Amino acid sequence: MLKKLPFLIFIISFTWNTNAQNTVGTVLITEDVFEAYTLISVHNNAYLLNNCGQVVNEWSSAYLPGNSVYLLPNGNLLRAGRVEDGSSNIVFGGQGGVVELFDWDGNLLWSFLYNNNQQRQHHDVFPMPNGNVLILAATAIPEAEAINLGRDPNLIVGGRLYNEQIIEVEPVGSDQANVVWEWNVKDHVVQDFDNTKITFGDVGMTPEKLDINFLNGIGASENWLHFNSIQYNANLDQIVISSRNLSEIYIIDHSTTTAEAATSSGGIYGKGGDFLYRWGNPQAYRQGTATDRILYGQHYPYFIEDGLVDAGKIIVFNNGNGRTPEYSEAAIFEPPKVSPGVYAYTPNTAYGPTSFEYSYSEQTSDPSDFYSAILSSAQRLPNGNMLICEGRTGEVFEIDAADNIVWKYINPIDNNTGSSIVQGDPPMAGNLLFRAIKYAPDFPGLVGRDLTPGATLEFNPDLTECESLSVQDVAMSNVTIYPNPTSHSIQINSQFDIDLIEVYSLVGQKVKVSKNKTSIDLSNLDSGVYFIKVYSDSGNYSQRIIKQ
């Protein structure tokens, strides 16, 4: 875990808060922000931004977001895109249709269409450790098949029902793929409406399957489930799924064969493709009422990675859509386990726990200022902070362990038109963000890359304070450190006699010392972000620098 730099304990607390003047881009930054790069997908582009909101890399596509995007350990970019040529009549919020792979320089390596009237990628994809890609898709179930599965005919509209499908594909060539694994929720349904159907059973005693007639009070729709996220845990070989409409999280076994995934046996955990665990809305399987509900239209649940605070627990953005009062929260909970990947459950009860272990919200008003009915994400960071994307407003902010906001960025680009605004103008209504993810400087896909800051996404930015992030330690002033960024040496001008110059890495390791009173050579350091500390009899001075 990255730790606070040792010399920062001498620094007077410093915060740059430009909310009064900056309306978009980086509007707040403090010394406690996690120094990293944020990836977002906006209009036809994906952008990697530093904490000042400057672009360090970008990728352009012919498609609008469809919706997730990932930076890969080799520096490639995996992105879902939205096909809008009318080739599919499967239409709902989050629709996609194409999965693209780009190299670091923006060259398109692979483009795979999963988009027709029978099936359509939507919302999420996931890059597998073996180079394959998980794809979330909606597939059309004809009315007759839906009825044969036990769906109440009165709950069928449009003559069909959407099945949610996950496929794992092996990219082939520039635009083809081999499907190497498949799971369909329609193979794991139960109902007590029609006892003539093979799916008939006791819903309350069959929590490993989904009640095909439970609508969560939303009403009949083809898109009755609206899965919006799939995330893979390699240690457990399990997939975490989010259903926005039913306000539930499901965990399934990925170790099965495709044949086993269509049954209730097989795989490491012996349950085939049935749910290993579910959580958030126990009334969905007759083990609670509306008062027992915890999740409300949630997004992006996943297992927190090893080595981070709360590792092994699940973090989720709980949107709060449908509850009173309306407010969102970034929350963490831990599924009860018998052993790794095996979840504790007492028959004829609800899955535990009964509440979140931790929750961040801002219930300061009704409705809350922190409320995103759609989209959004939360991410645990290596320094213990949490990154939160409030997707409806295009805001990305970071909180520390005490729930203080230490950084905030507001997307200045309209997702529909691609147009940006001038700093000082109010954010556009179309500046939605599906998700935002931070990547540490030591992420393998960034090592050795040119991360020279470029322009911001907004026009006429004011980054004076952000670019320096400097502060007096005692009383030393009138210090100039340049050039920044630099590829070789740093020059120091000061009215005081300089005794010592030190350079620290992001993890607080002293990597360079110079008793030269005017400069220090950084040419042998790797590219990245460092902190330089200047000592004199009159005080000390610290500043962030970028080595190209």
Most confident of 389-393, 427-431, 531-535: 389-393
Structure tokens at 6: 């040792």
Q: Which residues, in sequence order, are bridge partners of residue 249?
A: 242, 279
**Confidence band of 363 (pLDDT split at 50, 70, 90):** low
Residue 527: per-residue pLDDT:
82
Confidence of residue 12 (pLDDT cuts 50, 70, 90): very low
539 pLDDT higher than 80: no
Would you state the pLDDT for residue 194? 98
Task: Report helix, strand and coil shares of the chain as percent, to nearest 5.
Answer: 5, 40, 50
pLDDT, one tens digit per residue, over 77-89 is 999 999 999 999 9
What residues contact residue 484 under an 8 Å CB cut-off, 6+ apart? 467, 468, 490, 543, 545, 546
* pLDDT confidence bin for 116, thresholds 50/70/90: very high
- 478: pLDDT strictly greater than 80: no
Per-residue pLDDT at 475 exceeds 70: no
Half-sphere exposure of 432 (CA within 13 A, CB side): 18
Q: What is the separation of C-alpha 498 from the centre of its chain, rounded to a whole number of angstroms?
A: 45
- pTM (two decimals): 0.84
Phi-psi region of 330 (alpha: psi -120 to 50; beta: other; left: phi over 0): beta
Of 19, 42, 93, 18, the closest CA to residue 389 belongs to: 42
Mean pLDDT over residues 40-54, rounded?
A: 97
Token pair of 36 as six digits: 């990293």
The residues near 110 (Cβ < 8 Å, ≥ 6 apart) are 99, 100, 101, 171, 173, 174, 175
- Tokens 């792979």 correspond to 101
- The mean-pLDDT minimum among 7-21, 311-325, 372-386, 501-515 falls in 7-21
Q: Which residue in 102, 22, 8, 121 sits closest to 60, CA to CA?
A: 102
**pLDDT score, position 6:** 32
What DSSP assignment string belongs to 157-201?
BTTEEEEEEEEEEEEETTTEEEEEEEEEGGGGEEBSS-TTSTTBS
Q: What is the mean pLDDT of residues 382-403?
A: 96
Between 526 and 436, name the one with better pLDDT. 436
- Domains of the chain by start residue, with CATH: 62-394 (2.130.10), 470-547 (2.60.40.3080)
Residues 6+ apart with CB under 8 A from 317: 298, 299, 300, 328, 329, 330, 331, 372, 376, 377, 378, 388, 389
C-alpha torsion angle, residues 439, 442, 444, 447 (rounded to 10): 110
Read out DSSP for 389-422? EEGGGTEEEEE-TT--EEEEEE--B-TTT--B-B
Q: Above 50 in pLDDT, residue 15?
A: no
- Measured in Å, how far apart are the chain's first and last C-alpha atoms? 24
Task: Write the CA distances from 354 to 111, 167, 302, 518, integer angstroms.
Answer: 43, 32, 18, 61
Mean pLDDT, residues 419-441: 94
Question: How many of the other CB atoms lie within 10 Å of CB of 125?
Answer: 27
How confident is residue 185, by pLDDT bands cut at 50, 70 and 90? very high
Binned at pLDDT 50, 70 and 90, residue 467 comes out as low
Of the listed ranges 22-26, 212-216, 521-525, the least confidently predicted one is: 521-525
Instruction: Give 487's pLDDT tier (boundaries 50, 70, 90).
Output: confident
Q: Is the pLDDT of residue 528 over 70?
A: yes
How confident is the model at residue 546, as a pLDDT? 84
List alpha helices for 257-308, DSSP H.
Answer: 258-261
Rounded Cα distance, 308 and 299, in Å:
21
Round the average pLDDT of the chain to a whole number and report it.
Answer: 90
3-class DSSP state of 540: strand
Better-predicted residue by pLDDT, 502 or 57: 57
Q: Please, are residues 192 and 217 in contact by the beta-carbon 8 Å criterion?
A: no
CB atoms < 10 A from the CB of 513, how many? 11
What pLDDT is attached to residue 457? Answer: 96
The predicted pLDDT at position 367 comes to 60
The arithmetic mean of pLDDT across residues 169-177, rounded, is 98
| pLDDT classification of 535: cutoffs 50, 70, 90 | confident
pLDDT recorded at residue 400: 96
